Amino acid sequence: MAVNPQAAVALLQNAIPEMPSLGIVLGSGFQTILEGLAVESRFPFSGLPGFHLPTVPGHEQAAILVATVGGRRVVLISGRMHYYEGHSMATVTLPVRVLARCGVRTLVLTNAAGGIREDFRVGDLVCLTDHLNFIGVNPLRDSSSSTEVGFVDLCDLYSERVNQRLTHCGRRHGFQVHRGVYVAVAGPSFETPAEIRMFERLGGDLIGMSTVPEAVASRQCGLEVAALAFITNLAAGRSHREIRHEEVLEVLSDAGDRLAKLIADFCREVEWRRPNSSLLTLNLGPETTPDLLVKVDCVCPLLAKSKNGWSWRWFCLPVGYDWREIFGGKRADQVCRLKV
């Protein structure tokens, strides 16, 4: 059964006229990132139409927040609604659809996962490059509308551009960062050793109970999407230890400070980019003033002058955004509107 996101969208848009373009979903244990953040707005799931409070440890304080992370305004989803809690896929993907309609353009999903590949160790990070959906249902079933088509191409679903930046930031803070194929299962029970051996033969590198529905829905909504997994345990049959959810949260808690620094660096450094935009080339000569600002609805270059001389910077913002906010209120000598 489809869930209409418009009521939640209207509530958020009235409270936050200018939604940040970058969104991050904080999975199990990643909520430690919120400690010490300057939170601008907070909207608990309990007050958002169509949202439900998760029952899983590590997701209790579920909310949508707007906060400053790494000096940049970011919208954060703290907590998830899971399919194994009895929710429909329309409910599970509702937060993603709400953010997309509010103006988010790039979404990073995080999760805790079990390591299948032999070289994965507890504490490693994995940037997803692809996935195997073994949840048993497609998240786009019964979700189509006049503007959202269900027949969505999932090639190159996970953004290589964002993966490169996540990898760079992760290694800077001492993490071993891999690339891998994520296996999504329904849960809530953990897998059997036989199932893990099967998934390994099918090409799976890590396994979890989330992320794929949100990633697929993000593609349907036209978002650029990436996913970062934290290996909290080795999958069934990979060690002699019993798999416990409490241990998963403990491992994430121990790495909380480094994860927070990683996310802050990522938010500070990643450039926002509208997915599937055509590249626009501007012939700007040496006479161009440093304060030339261009408003376009696609990827575009900006020729800027700094203490190191002239350099090209690439930006993408919707028409109508005030570029002066990026440059600390500097004067715009010329504003061009270009149709592309």
Q: Using CB atoms within 10 A of its CB, is residue 36 exposed (0-12), middle (13-18) or buried (19+)?
A: exposed
3-state secondary structure of 165: helix
What is residue 282's predicted lDDT score, i.e. its pLDDT?
A: 37
Q: Is residue 146 among the annotated active site residues?
A: no
pTM for the structure as a whole: 0.78
Q: Catalytic one among 84, 87, 148, 304?
A: 84
What residues form DSSP beta bridges with 43? 64
Q: Structure tokens of 55? A: 């029952």
Domain-located, residue 282: no
Q: Is residue 210 among the annotated active site residues?
A: yes
What is residue 339's predicted lDDT score, i.e. its pLDDT?
A: 31
Domain-located, residue 279: no
pLDDT band at residue 240 under the 50/70/90 scheme: confident
Helix (H) or strand (E) holding 22: strand 22-26
**Whether residues 261 and 299 fall in one domain:** no
End-to-end CA distance of the chain: 38
Domain-located, residue 275: no
**Whether residues 130 and 173 fall in one domain:** yes
3-state secondary structure 76-145: EEECCCCHHHCCCHHHHCHHHHHHHHHCCCEEEEEEEEEECCCCCCCCCEEEEEEEEEECCCCCCCCCCC
Q: Residues with Cβ < 8 Å from 108, sequence gap 6 or more?
A: 22, 23, 24, 25, 162, 166, 225, 226, 227, 228, 266
Q: Structure tokens of 225? A: 């999407």
**Whether residues 59 and 94 fall in one domain:** yes
Q: Where are the alpha helices (DSSP H) in 107-244?
A: 160-172, 193-201, 212-220
Mean residue pLDDT across the chain: 81
| Residue 118 CA: distances (Å) to CA of 10, 54, 205, 206, 234 | 47, 32, 9, 10, 9
Q: Is residue 240 among the annotated active site residues?
A: no
**Whether residues 230 and 90 fall in one domain:** yes
**Whether residues 25 and 170 fall in one domain:** yes
Mean of pLDDT values over 3-21: 92
Model confidence over 82-118: pLDDT tens digits? 999 999 999 999 999 999 999 999 999 999 999 999 9
What is residue 308's predicted lDDT score, i.e. its pLDDT?
A: 54
Mean of pLDDT values over 233-258: 82
Model confidence over 140-175: pLDDT tens digits? 987 645 456 778 999 999 999 999 999 999 999 999
Domain-located, residue 196: yes
Final residue before a domain boundary, out of 237, 253, 269:
269
**Whether residues 192 and 155 fall in one domain:** yes
What is residue 3's predicted lDDT score, i.e. its pLDDT?
A: 77
Position 235, amino acid = A
Comparison of pLDDT for 59 and 254, the residue scoring more: 254
Q: Is residue 28 among the annotated active site residues?
A: yes
Q: Is residue 111 among the annotated active site residues?
A: no
Q: Is residue 52 among the annotated active site residues?
A: no
Q: Catalytic one among 21, 62, 67, 82?
A: 82
CB 181 within 8 A of CB 128: yes
Q: Catalytic one among 40, 52, 85, 321?
A: 85
Q: Catalytic one among 112, 227, 255, 260?
A: 112
What is residue 225's predicted lDDT score, i.e. its pLDDT?
A: 97
Mean of pLDDT values over 222-237: 95
Domain-located, residue 1: no
Residue closest to 157 by CA, chosen among 137, 127, 187, 118: 127
Opening angle at CA 156, ends 155 and 159, nearest 5: 155
Computed over its alpha carbons, how large is the radius of gyration of the chain? 21
| Residue 174 CA: distances (Å) to CA of 170, 239, 262, 278 | 7, 24, 10, 36
Q: Is residue 84 among the annotated active site residues?
A: yes
**Whether residues 182 and 147 fall in one domain:** yes
Q: Residue 43 maps to which CATH number?
A: 3.40.50.1580
Domain range spanning residue 321? 293-337
What residues form DSSP beta bridges with 109? 25, 227
pLDDT band at residue 306 under the 50/70/90 scheme: low
Q: Is residue 59 among the annotated active site residues?
A: yes
The domain tally of the chain equals: 2
Q: Catalytic one among 111, 143, 210, 218?
A: 210
**Whether residues 87 and 123 fall in one domain:** yes
Domain-located, residue 136: yes
Q: Catalytic one among 8, 19, 21, 59?
A: 59
What is residue 254's predicted lDDT score, i.e. its pLDDT?
A: 82
| Residue 219 CA: distances (Å) to CA of 69, 71, 149, 151, 183 | 25, 27, 11, 11, 18
Q: Catalytic one among 21, 88, 218, 233?
A: 233
DSSP letters, 39-77, are: EEEEEEGGGSTT-----STT-TT-EEEEEEETTEEEEEE
Domain-located, residue 116: yes
Q: What is the DSSP letter of 301?
A: E
Final residue before a domain boundary, out of 217, 235, 269:
269
**Whether residues 329 and 252 fall in one domain:** no
Domain-located, residue 274: no
pLDDT band at residue 250 under the 50/70/90 scheme: confident
**Whether residues 244 and 136 fall in one domain:** yes
Q: What is the DSSP letter of 32?
A: G
